Amino acid sequence: MSTKLNRRLRLGMVGGGPGAFIGAVHRAAARLDDRFELVAAALSSDAEKSRAYASELRIPRVYSSFQEMADAEAKHPEPIDVVAIVTPNHMHHPIAKAFLAAGIHVMCDKPLTTNLTDADDLAAAVASTGLIFGVTQSYSGYPMVRQMREIVTTGGIGAVRMIQAEYAQGWLATKLEDTGAKQAAWRTDPAKSGPAGCLGDIATHAFHTACFITGLKPKEVAADLSTFVEGRRLDDNVQAMLHFEGGAKASLWSSQIAIGEENNLNIRVYGEKGSLTWHQENPNYVQHAPLGEPTRILTRGGAGVTASPAAGTRLPTGHPEGYFEAFATLYSDIAEQIVARLEGREADASSRLLPTVADGVAGVRFIEAVLKSSANASAWTPLS
Amino acid sequence: MSTKLNRRLRLGMVGGGPGAFIGAVHRAAARLDDRFELVAAALSSDAEKSRAYASELRIPRVYSSFQEMADAEAKHPEPIDVVAIVTPNHMHHPIAKAFLAAGIHVMCDKPLTTNLTDADDLAAAVASTGLIFGVTQSYSGYPMVRQMREIVTTGGIGAVRMIQAEYAQGWLATKLEDTGAKQAAWRTDPAKSGPAGCLGDIATHAFHTACFITGLKPKEVAADLSTFVEGRRLDDNVQAMLHFEGGAKASLWSSQIAIGEENNLNIRVYGEKGSLTWHQENPNYVQHAPLGEPTRILTRGGAGVTASPAAGTRLPTGHPEGYFEAFATLYSDIAEQIVARLEGREADASSRLLPTVADGVAGVRFIEAVLKSSANASAWTPLS
Amino acid sequence: MSTKLNRRLRLGMVGGGPGAFIGAVHRAAARLDDRFELVAAALSSDAEKSRAYASELRIPRVYSSFQEMADAEAKHPEPIDVVAIVTPNHMHHPIAKAFLAAGIHVMCDKPLTTNLTDADDLAAAVASTGLIFGVTQSYSGYPMVRQMREIVTTGGIGAVRMIQAEYAQGWLATKLEDTGAKQAAWRTDPAKSGPAGCLGDIATHAFHTACFITGLKPKEVAADLSTFVEGRRLDDNVQAMLHFEGGAKASLWSSQIAIGEENNLNIRVYGEKGSLTWHQENPNYVQHAPLGEPTRILTRGGAGVTASPAAGTRLPTGHPEGYFEAFATLYSDIAEQIVARLEGREADASSRLLPTVADGVAGVRFIEAVLKSSANASAWTPLS
Amino acid sequence: MSTKLNRRLRLGMVGGGPGAFIGAVHRAAARLDDRFELVAAALSSDAEKSRAYASELRIPRVYSSFQEMADAEAKHPEPIDVVAIVTPNHMHHPIAKAFLAAGIHVMCDKPLTTNLTDADDLAAAVASTGLIFGVTQSYSGYPMVRQMREIVTTGGIGAVRMIQAEYAQGWLATKLEDTGAKQAAWRTDPAKSGPAGCLGDIATHAFHTACFITGLKPKEVAADLSTFVEGRRLDDNVQAMLHFEGGAKASLWSSQIAIGEENNLNIRVYGEKGSLTWHQENPNYVQHAPLGEPTRILTRGGAGVTASPAAGTRLPTGHPEGYFEAFATLYSDIAEQIVARLEGREADASSRLLPTVADGVAGVRFIEAVLKSSANASAWTPLS
């Protein structure tokens, strides 16, 4: 990515107060490639906390609420270029609406919203404002995931037949939400997470990553949700079978009660002429098995790895990059899109791999279809 | 296993002619622990071929047909103790019946039969004759699979919640059956395989291994069969979701079009207090993740591996055992059962891990339920 | 790390111009935890290049030479707190001396110098000025390397007997230095690298990491250097056997002609009561094998991982951290040391794991001893 | 391998009494491919034990001593074709001599003898009798080791530069020989093992496997032997650097005190055009990294695996073979050589990969050179 803009972009943040996990990730990711300066924030619904933490983080402009922030930034002589929304799910919709209305680009965490009506509403707002809207389906930022996408979409493994998409964790195998653990509490609370637990939190990542890599359009799903931990209010295990346009199929499993699993997003794609395998926990490698030939190990930045995924590579092969770097690539993507617009030029092609509001809507539609199928004896339920 | 019997057992074989894969495996497996002598055979439906190949294998008594063999062995002064049935699936039922009628114990390849009526009929014949009947669900012979069973059934990972059972191969990713490949031809021919392709050939192994390890009773299945290779007459990809008595669930995937996969039987069991993972292609290891503790790597014959699985271990840790050794353990199991009966004593407990005709029936029932569910929009279909 | 200092530290940089690898790593690492602002630089020996690149990087104060920079910063009202030296090896000594003389803390890349005289001279300058001096032996910043150090130095595997230290790369398997590749050119040029090639570039990392983890004091070395690529002017393969005080031994292998190896730093430590294994290319895991128990997989931030290494952990288990994060930990270490001094308090214990000038001197002493041993028929040569 | 001989070969065995590890391995290995019948034995130096155990194993001809056996078999109308010598090391020489004198082919365990004089004497006896003499350097029987040999010796990775050969175990990390463990006792007793402990037991395997794969001629060695367990009478850790004719080098490490290691023979070969890596504990795979291309995973019997190694493959890819099967290949090799001689034809080329008395002599020479070098401050010591 190249730019003539002689300043860093101005970033704002809503959410991400003390103890939040994903807010700190967004901040570090935005910092890594040095394209942003965090200049404004409403970090917490508690204005006092927000102020204190912003001072600790050395953020100059602090606001008491997202609405106040949107209003003020809209009028500021040097307004933020983009706002990062990193609150619990139920707040994504009103906050995003407010900033779009203020004419400010948005980087929103996932799932986009807690229901499809809100998601469609946001998509409409993005369309009508023409603003840039990114969704941090973070795994699409991994260079080797982008490499898989490039191989699949250029026919490198032939027509896709079968996908195995897994995202398993074990940290909610016991009733952690009763112990005061903040991360567990809001994720298992329907008021904050919406009607989906594991489904909204991580199954959506498995779903998006599978779609991102293959470019396939999902058709229908047959799903079985479970709540294995007694008394939990949302699902903690998701099983699904999927059909795609064109005949491809997928099995999807996502769980937060899988003891021994940490953050095991694991995608395998089998086509007519080869297959690809990727494991998030050791993300710098892809196994590529061409039909009738030995399996090859592709490495980030290594031999046989083609141009566009390399855009997200900062280090020589063998020097591992991880989750921060993948996330940072999404921030560099939106930076490039914003700068290109400021400079009146086309954004680099690879920057357009940033997940969009449409991806966010598809994720919410997936959630609703899975909920419906599971409630209906796993009947096949449309995804489009 | 100890014995006072001062001879090797006499083994007969039906099927396993030149070019057959599994017949040679049975012979090597029976030889490995030196408990058997192969003394009689009807190796091929072509009597001439049978005779020639038996001579090459130095098998003294050769027969033109299984019926002739059963009749003759029944009257022989030193009859075979047990017959191994290693023909294509559609012949298992008549051959097994013939030898049971002749009073001869049976070791039968899987799937037991091509339909449930025949399977039930065989089970009845076993019950009425009281003979020993083993089914070579071979993966149950791996020491680490037995170790997993011991851990699970003694409560080592608590109540089972979720099972991931996969068995993926890629060798039928193209229409190999049109190229003269014998192994591909009969497996994709409904007349020889019955109505199930990949389902009968390997999904049954994944199903049995999951049941064997957990001791759980399957309740119902929702399945989606595919035939990805155009013109193929049987399924080549199986997706299923399962419910077990007591609330456990499973995802099962089995495929023969998964390029890059060789013989990837892969079982993961997640319970309330821990999980276990095993990969057939590197079978001497199990990963055990206890809740809240680091994952441990259990190795065949190594520290923390308890007694009964060790029975199937012939070499010190680090000296890999493989498929032959697992298979040989099933032969040693049936040897022990036969000798114990000859000696009028109880067979060793571990020898009773040999899959029985009931396991074979359960496998056929699984096949029929999957076929029915898949034909019925993946509706949940009873497994018992 | 906590601080009351209400500003970021001011960082300067010498070296790290366009095309340099390690300069960009230092900058990103310094940025990741948001403790530094890069405010001054002499990025290149070519003043024009330096100016242009500094402008692109938005560094406000640009200098034509390191000496000009040291002089000016010494008098600046808001001088840099610390300078990062990221030039080729032969320049480390004069630059470090200049900034120490200017009263500025130093973060210096490795190897410290190209000869022991210079190294000792620097150590003396550090001692006499009392300034903070870090050496970016970057692998010591990995949380799991620090975890190993904690396990070993608290007796967790008993007295160390044997270390296997490897650092293998393959990128110099052909004469890359003749192709215009800048990274290859200076590394194989004695005028810029000093008398050691692979030895100074990466074997020193293997050596330092082994010493860091075990806390052992090296005694003597028997080494065999090779130059496998014809016409290369420095070694490209290092074999060594080491003796430590107290009886431990090590084998060390480092190579840049090992095709297929990317950045394979791989450390195994065997003690009387257990062993530890770590691979840099998948750095979030350590295998710990206690005597007579199954091997355990320790994961960054996971169960059984103790406090001080966790200090360098920014993400939950299963979200991989990599090379940038390890490097960033060294920058946070020096930040904490500097801030503690400004605040007149003790620095956090974990920040003192930052490699010091003494570690740098030990590295140069290792280089000289290996060169001497190899030139002397691999005779055992003192390391202290 | 094809044969017209219409009988199994007659095998005799000396050593391998109750509790012996390697005797049982030889018997199973000889049985696996059904080319041998074990008809004669002197299993133990205790004639009574020998008789009882032979009866249990159903071996018809039992002898009180190896000499009695050699004498009797020489005169027997149906004498053994070959004798397997599986005693402790110090007995290999006299027993082998006796059977060679009796005109009987020999399969001898390794190390060949406990000193070079005996080894040379045996080689002379083999030469003068013209008999077939195999040495069970068992790792050369693995199909993927043979595949590596084929790749290297046909130039597939160019001229070899560097070899990393490791063989690490942990079972002697404590003084097991004091606990009554038979396997530990004789291996650490100079009277039975000769002057080498770990060196003779397993370092010789690493040495032989490296030479077998590369076909290189070793020139000199610089070695450092250790005895880490206090009071042990032989070495338990071997470090060595090697030079080969033509400029290749190797590092060799072998240990029996490496806790956590089971039977970790691990060979890496780096050439001018690529590299190969193999791990005994998961022996069905080789990693092949060609210069400038992605690393490939070669699998036993899989794509890209060439003819002669396939000779030792009995199962389809993905069905793991292990240690018994590798060992069995050596028995099939000697079977083929014996039968070819009986039939007056050339033995199959692959059967001649069986290690010979010359390999045995080279192993003993390696042992003596390492002992000498280690005693002489690791001075470079000739290997030829």
User: Which residues of chain B neighbour A172 with C-beta distances below 8 Å?
Assistant: none
Both tokens assigned to B59: 């098998």
pLDDT tens sequence across A191-231: 988 999 999 999 999 999 999 999 999 999 999 999 999 99
C56 and C103 co-located in one domain: yes
User: Which residues of chain C neighbour A283 with C-beta distances below 8 Å?
Assistant: 320
3-state secondary structure C230-285: CCCCCCCEEEEEEEECCCCEEEEEEECCCCCCCCEEEEEEEECCEEEEEECCCCCE
Of B8, B299, B323, the CB nearest to D319: B323
D294 pLDDT band (50/70/90 cuts)? Answer: very high
D157 and D121 co-located in one domain: no
The number of C-beta contacts closer than 8 angstroms across A and B is: 118
Residue B321 included in any domain: no
Of B166, B241, B277, the CB nearest to A224: B241
Radius of gyration of chain A (CA): 20
Both tokens assigned to C123: 């150590």
B295 and C297 within 8 Å at the Cβ level: the answer is yes
Give the domain extent around A297: 143-315+362-382
Q: What is the DSSP string of D210-256?
A: HHHHH-PPEEEEEEEEE--STT-SS--EEEEEEEETTS-EEEEEEES
Interface test with D, best of C169, C221, C238, C270 (most D CBs within 10 A): C270
CATH number of the domain bearing residue D42: 3.40.50.720
Both tokens assigned to C301: 């931030």
Residue C321 included in any domain: no
B1 pLDDT band (50/70/90 cuts)? Answer: very low
B297 and C298 within 8 Å at the Cβ level: the answer is no
Chains that touch B (3 or more CB pairs under 8 A): A, C, D
Give residues with Cβ within 8 angstroms of C159, minimum separation 6: C246, C247, C248, C271, C272
A153 and A241 co-located in one domain: yes
Of D169, D284, D316, the CB nearest to B318: D169
- Tell me the CA distances in angstroms from A255 to A224, A236, B238, C333, D309, one per residue in order: 12, 6, 21, 37, 43
Interface test with A, best of C254, C259, C266, C324 (most A CBs within 10 A): C324
Inform me whether the pLDDT recorded for B278 exceeds 60.
yes
Inform me whether the pLDDT recorded for C3 exceeds 80.
no
Inform me whether the pLDDT recorded for D307 exceeds 70.
no
Of B161, B253, B271, the CB nearest to A251: B253
D308 pLDDT band (50/70/90 cuts)? Answer: low
Residue D285 included in any domain: yes
Instruction: Based on DSSP, count helices (H) and strands (E) in chain C, helices before strands.
Output: 13, 15
SS3 B298: strand
B230 and B378 co-located in one domain: yes
Q: What are phi and psi of D59, to 5 degrees?
A: -95, 120
Give the alpha-carbon dihedral of B51, B55, B56, B57, to 10 degrees: 100
D162 and C255 within 8 Å at the Cβ level: the answer is yes
User: Which residues of chain A neighbour D303 with C-beta distances below 8 Å?
Assistant: 292-294
pLDDT tens sequence across C309-364: 656 789 999 999 999 999 999 999 999 999 999 999 999 999 999 999 999 999 99
Termini Cα distance of chain A = 34
D260 and C295 within 8 Å at the Cβ level: the answer is yes
Both tokens assigned to D250: 């190797």
SS3 A34: coil
Give residues with Cβ within 8 angstroms of D77, minimum separation 6: none
Termini Cα distance of chain B = 34
CATH number of the domain bearing residue B168: 3.30.360.10
Both tokens assigned to B40: 């009689």
Q: What are phi and psi of B21, to 5 degrees?
A: -85, -50
pLDDT tens sequence across D61-88: 999 999 999 999 999 999 999 999 999 9
Running DSSP on this structure, what letter comes out for residue B225?
E
User: Which residues of chain B neighbour A275 with C-beta distances below 8 Å?
Assistant: 170, 258-261
C277 and D260 within 8 Å at the Cβ level: the answer is yes
**Could you report the predicted ipTM of this complex, rounded to two decimals?**
0.95
A73 and A100 co-located in one domain: yes
Inform me whether the pLDDT recorded for A310 exceeds 70.
no
A297 and D298 within 8 Å at the Cβ level: the answer is no
Both tokens assigned to C329: 């930990």
Report, as an integer, the average pLDDT of B39-46: 93
| Distance, C-alpha A78 to centroid of its chain | 28
In sign, the C-alpha dihedral spanning A100, A102, A103, A106 is negative
Per-residue pLDDT at A306: 80
C289 and D260 within 8 Å at the Cβ level: the answer is yes
- Whether C105 and C180 have beta carbons less than 8 Å apart is answered as no
Running DSSP on this structure, what letter comes out for residue D348?
P
Per-residue pLDDT at C1: 45
D5 pLDDT band (50/70/90 cuts)? Answer: confident
Residue A2 included in any domain: no
If one counts the domains in chain C, the total is 2
Q: Which residues of D touch C (CB under 8 A)?
A: 157, 161-162, 164, 166, 170, 173-174, 222, 224, 226, 228, 237, 239, 241, 247, 249, 251, 253, 255, 257-261, 268, 270-275, 277, 287, 289-291, 295, 377-380
Element of type H or E holding D163: strand D160-168
Residue A236 included in any domain: yes
- Number of neighbouring beta carbons within 10 Å of residue C249: 19
Per-residue pLDDT at A1: 45
D305 pLDDT band (50/70/90 cuts)? Answer: confident
**CB crowding A97-119: b at 16 or more within 10 Å, else e:** bbbbebebbbbbbbbbbbbbebb
C293 and B304 within 8 Å at the Cβ level: the answer is yes
D206 and D263 co-located in one domain: yes
D270 and C257 within 8 Å at the Cβ level: the answer is yes
A263 and C316 within 8 Å at the Cβ level: the answer is yes
Inform me whether the pLDDT recorded for B316 exceeds 80.
yes
Inform me whether the pLDDT recorded for D292 exceeds 70.
yes
Residue B323 included in any domain: no
D273 and C255 within 8 Å at the Cβ level: the answer is no
Residue with token string 């960082």: C11
User: Which residues of chain B neighbour C298 with C-beta distances below 8 Å?
Assistant: 294
What residues are paired with B133 via a beta bridge? B106
D296 and A298 within 8 Å at the Cβ level: the answer is no
Question: What is the C-alpha to C-alpha distance for residues A238 and A253, in angstroms, rounded to an integer?
Answer: 6
* pLDDT-above-70 percentage for chain C: 98
Residue C292: closest C-alpha in chain B: B303
Nearest Cα to C73, choosing from C106, C51, C49, C46?
Answer: C106
Chains that touch C (3 or more CB pairs under 8 A): A, B, D
Per-residue pLDDT at A96: 98
Chains that touch D (3 or more CB pairs under 8 A): A, B, C
B276 and B157 co-located in one domain: yes
- Rounded to a whole number of angstroms, the distance from the CA of C123 to the nearest CA of chain A is 30
Residue A296: closest C-alpha in chain D: D296
Inform me whether the pLDDT recorded for D248 exceeds 70.
yes
Q: Which residues of D touch B (CB under 8 A)?
A: 6-8, 21, 24-25, 27-28, 31-34, 57-58, 169, 171, 261-264, 280-284, 299, 302, 314-325
Residue C241: closest C-alpha in chain D: D239
Termini Cα distance of chain C = 34
A259 and B271 within 8 Å at the Cβ level: the answer is yes
Element of type H or E holding D133: strand D133-135
- Whether C2 and C60 have beta carbons less than 8 Å apart is answered as no
Report, as an integer, the average pLDDT of D155-163: 98
Report, as an integer, the average pLDDT of C28-54: 94
Inform me whether the pLDDT recorded for D203 exceeds 80.
yes
- In this structure, of A255-269, B210-224, D186-200, the range with the lowest mean pLDDT score is D186-200
What residues are paired with C226 via a beta bridge? C237
Residue B1 included in any domain: no
Residue B322 included in any domain: no
D115 and D150 co-located in one domain: no
C67 and C174 co-located in one domain: no
Residue B274: closest C-alpha in chain A: A259
Q: ∠ CA C53-C56-C60 to the nearest 5 degrees? A: 85
What residues are paired with D176 via a beta bridge? none
Residue D297: closest C-alpha in chain A: A295
pLDDT tens sequence across C143-195: 999 999 999 999 999 999 999 999 999 999 999 999 988 889 989 999 988 99
pLDDT tens sequence across A243-291: 999 999 999 999 999 999 999 999 999 999 999 999 999 999 999 999 9
C305 pLDDT band (50/70/90 cuts)? Answer: confident
C292 and B299 within 8 Å at the Cβ level: the answer is no
Phi-psi region for residue A329, left (φ > 0), alpha (ψ -120 to 50) or beta? alpha
Interface test with C, best of D152, D162, D296, D374 (most C CBs within 10 A): D162
Per-residue pLDDT at A6: 77
- Rounded to a whole number of angstroms, the distance from the CA of B100 to the nearest CA of chain A is 42
Radius of gyration of chain D (CA): 20
User: Which residues of chain D neighbour C222 with C-beta distances below 8 Å?
Assistant: 222, 224, 241, 378
- Give the up-direction half-sphere exposure of residue C291: CA atoms within 13 A in the CB hemisphere: 18
Q: ∠ CA C289-C294-C299 to the nearest 5 degrees? A: 60
B296 and C292 within 8 Å at the Cβ level: the answer is no
C175 and C270 co-located in one domain: yes
D205 and D61 co-located in one domain: no
- In this structure, of B84-93, B307-316, C11-20, D37-46, the range with the lowest mean pLDDT score is B307-316
D249 and C226 within 8 Å at the Cβ level: the answer is yes
User: Which residues of chain B neighbour A222 with C-beta distances below 8 Å?
Assistant: 222, 224, 241, 378
pLDDT tens sequence across C186-232: 899 999 889 999 999 999 999 999 999 999 999 999 999 999 999 99
Running DSSP on this structure, what letter comes out for residue C152?
H
D157 and D244 co-located in one domain: yes
